[in-house]
Amino acid sequence: MARGKLRIYLGSAPGVGTTHSALAEAHRRSAGGTDTVVAVAHTHRRPGTEALLRGLETIPTLASGAVDTGAVIERAPALAIVDDLAHANAPGSPNPARWQDVQELLAAGINVVSTVGIHQLESLNDVVKQITGAPPVRSVPDRVVRAATEIELVDLTPQELRRRMAHGDIHPAERLDAALSDFYREGNLAALRELALLWTADRVEEGLARYRGEHKIRSTWEARERVVVALTGGPEGETLILRAARVAARSRGGHPQPSHLMAVHVVPPDGIAQAPTDDLLRQRRLLAELGGTYHQVVGNDVPTGLLEFARGVHATQIVLGSSRRSAWQYVFGPGVGTIVARESGDIDVHIVTHEQVGTGRWPLPPPGRGLGPHRRVAGWTLAVVAPFLLTLVLTVPPLRGVGAASDALLLLLITVSTAAVGGLWPALSSAVLSALLLTFVLSPLHGRPPVSLDNMLALTAFALVGTLVAVVVEMAARRSAQAARGRAEAKAVTLLAGSVLSGSEPLQALLRRIRKTFAQRSATLLEQRDEGGWRVVHSVGAPACETPDEADVQVAISDTLTLALRGRVLPAADRGVLRAFAAHIGIALEHQRLEWDAAEARGQAAGNRIRTALLAAVSHDLRSPLTSIKASLSTLRATDIELDPEDRETLLETVEESTDRLNRLIDNLLDMSRVHTDNVRPRLRAVGLEEVVPVTLLGLPHDSVTVDVPDHLPRVRADAGLLERSIANVVTNAVRYNPDPSSPVLVAASAHGENVQLRVADRGPGVSDEGKHRMFEAFQRLGDAPQGTGVGLGLAVARGFVEAMHGTLTPEDTPGGGLTMVFTLKAADPNEAGEERSHAGPGR
């Protein structure tokens, strides 16, 4: 029986509509003739989702709420809808988790459509905890989701999702404020959405890479432009990066993104193109500023390493600099640019000129094999040609009488030179050829027999001297190559360590760097669970390793952490470097978790500060009016006290004033909650300040405020309720701090171009520049503020409401002393209808 196929709707956040999408597909498939049943669907009493269940065959769940897999398998439909893949079954259910129920259905040959949220993927638990402040209650192993035949992302913008929340489409009204201020904060939703898009994009890229590998496709598919800039580490690198950034920007029509601009530095083990550290660090900083990513790989051949990297990341364009070699150095072969351009296939290659062109670079031998091919070619050429040329010269009549000893020494010099240039085998060949020429050509010229003891000793001496010199040269070359490889490896580890210590690259980027450096298909960081088994902390590439046993290379980082690579078995020489890399990965993970803990601690500290301030406010500012009310009412109800009408009126006024004060405090607390949860949605209309300002003065002493708002002033675009509350808070605050009743607070308005400004000026003590920055924070009051005058929320609420109406509220010094608060609001279109007055409260 063929295994069933799994299709998953992946939600960027709870409430985006995964269940709705799954049930809508059930209707489409059923209408198309597919035998479809609903095994379980969580509607959360949402009318739109419940309506989709009508007309679909539903198989009842077990008493525990788990999927009745036995009934579904017996029914044998072609398609089953199983909502919420990460759901944990109640104790006593056949399986602990719903994803295990799905596995049973798939094994029975039933196709399944399911749903899951990005926050429920097991490998992202730590990231979700960092974003939301709490780890997910339920999760599903990544391998289950990765094994799905199809994954479709269900997404909404944070603003649209919060609007759905406000309309009651996701949570009931009694949970709305808590949800908006907790999990559904706009920042949380934006971060989860980015996480979902990136995770989905990685799966798409893995699928594309798998398809290209299965079909042996080597050509570049220009699904999107990816620009790779090749760095040698020389001073020309900045020019190349800037040029590559312009190429990437033109390709995208905007600023280059990290996935579209990549720089690679190929470091051969013998140290070709070793970059000065300062140059390379400057180039990395420039690349980061331009939105690109830096990669370093170790390769034996620079052109091959560059092209393999470019093809591995599906690059469409390569940018590299003109060669710095001098003209005479081209006798050793074509430059890197020429080879890359010739072998690039359908990848476009840009050769960029720069100031370092032709400044020269000495050719160095290839890695790990002692002498390079250029030197070996030169050695063989010298071994074959030089002895014949010297013999020809020595047979010329003017040099024929030089002597047999001189002939032997000159030929020995050729052998030694050959050994120094080409190594052992060219040296032995030169020794044999020189001995033969000395024996059969030069010796008869001096009257000596070809075969003699002297010639035999000369042949032996040639061979021994050539061998000794060649061995010394080979050993020196190998030691030099090993030292250069060590320098290259140390530099790669140093760069990785710098990234870890600076925190400039996330853990996933470091794993990607390791994967590319060691040419692996995937790199996975595994952590052992307390209850046994392994979980994937982070993974790049595909297929990921679920356990260390699946890896071609594994390195234990600690008792619980293991780095697992899949792709090829590494030689022993590379494993030492990999262990160093793995140690840095462990440090990076610890660094990341410490940052999360620190962020969580900072959040808790900020929450504690707010709770402490709120507790202090409640303990005094809310208790004081309650105490006054209780004392007044107790006195009024007392039967043993005779109260005259004036005393009774005074007590009733106290009750009324304390009640009003208590009401204002509660209103401010509720308003601050709305501001913090971004739940302020003003109804912007044309509003006249001459109508709003008088309303804000109700309850204030008659002579405490002077109003100067011209009738001909343009109307402003605002929500009348929010504007009234904002102005009232500011004016009340100004009156409270205005020490001289003979100099009342001035409320004046004037037009300034497309804006209208309302200024509230007092003659109080004023506020320092530092205090101006803090005065709009919640629970902030001046140090000499009288007790019992509020919880310090009035200005914070006022600014929040004004900014919600696309205006500003800024403090200025009053000329002659005091503080002036300036409201700046957009003037309304003269043709726009005015606001219909309503005192039902601020706009919702």
The model's pLDDT over 209-219, given as tens digits with 9 standing for 90+, comes to 666 666 665 55
Residue 109, pLDDT score: 94
According to CATH, the topology of domain 680-826 is Heat Shock Protein 90 (3.30.565)
pTM of the model: 0.40
Q: DSSP code of 171?
A: S
Q: DSSP code of 681?
A: -
pLDDT band for 183, please (50, 70, 90 cuts).
low
Beta bridge partners of 687: 716
Residue 332, pLDDT score: 52
pLDDT in tens, 226-275: 888 988 777 778 888 888 888 777 655 444 444 478 888 887 554 444 44
pLDDT in tens, 376-386: 788 788 878 88
223 or 423, higher pLDDT: 423
Looking only at the bridges linking them, the beta strands covering 819-826 and 561-566 are unpaired
Q: Which of 4, 154, 149 is nearest to 72 (CA)?
A: 4
Answer for the pair 438, 431: CB distance below 8 angstroms, yes or no.
no
Rounded CA-CA distance 177/184 in Å is 10
Q: Is the pLDDT of residue 836 over 60?
A: no
Mean pLDDT is lowest, of 197-201, 328-332, 802-806, for: 328-332
Residue 177, pLDDT score: 43
The CATH number fitting domain 227-352, selected from 3.40.1710.10, 3.40.50.620, 3.20.20.70, 3.40.605.10:
3.40.50.620
Q: Is the pLDDT of residue 396 over 50?
A: yes
Residue 784, pLDDT score: 42
How large is the average pLDDT for residues 43-61? 88
How large is the average pLDDT for residues 635-645? 78
Counting residues of the chain whose pLDDT is more than 90, the rounded percentage is 13
Q: Is the pLDDT of residue 98 over 90?
A: yes
Give CA 312 to chain center in angstroms: 21
Q: Which of 678, 672, 738, 670 is nearest to 704 (CA)?
A: 738
Looking only at the bridges linking them, the beta strands covering 745-752 and 755-761 are antiparallel
Crossing angle, helix 623-637 and helix 645-676, to 10 degrees? 150
Answer for the pair 106, 112: CB distance below 8 angstroms, yes or no.
yes
Rounded CA-CA distance 478/368 in Å is 7
Task: Please count the other Cβ atoms lying within 10 Å of the Cβ belonging to residue 165.
Answer: 20
Q: Is the pLDDT of residue 180 over 90?
A: no
pLDDT band for 617, please (50, 70, 90 cuts).
low
Q: Which of 706, 765, 768 is nearest to 731 (CA)?
A: 706
Rounded CA-CA distance 773/768 in Å is 9
**What amino acid is encoded at 734 in this protein?**
A
pLDDT band for 547, please (50, 70, 90 cuts).
confident
pLDDT in tens, 517-539: 777 888 888 888 877 788 888 88
The hierarchical CATH code for the domain 6-214 is 3.40.50.300
**In the block, residue with structure tokens 């090749």:** 230
Peptide bond into 543 cis (omega under 30): yes
Q: Is the pLDDT of residue 790 over 60?
A: no
Q: Which of 437, 435, 430 is nearest to 469 (CA)?
A: 430
Rounded CA-CA distance 842/844 in Å is 6
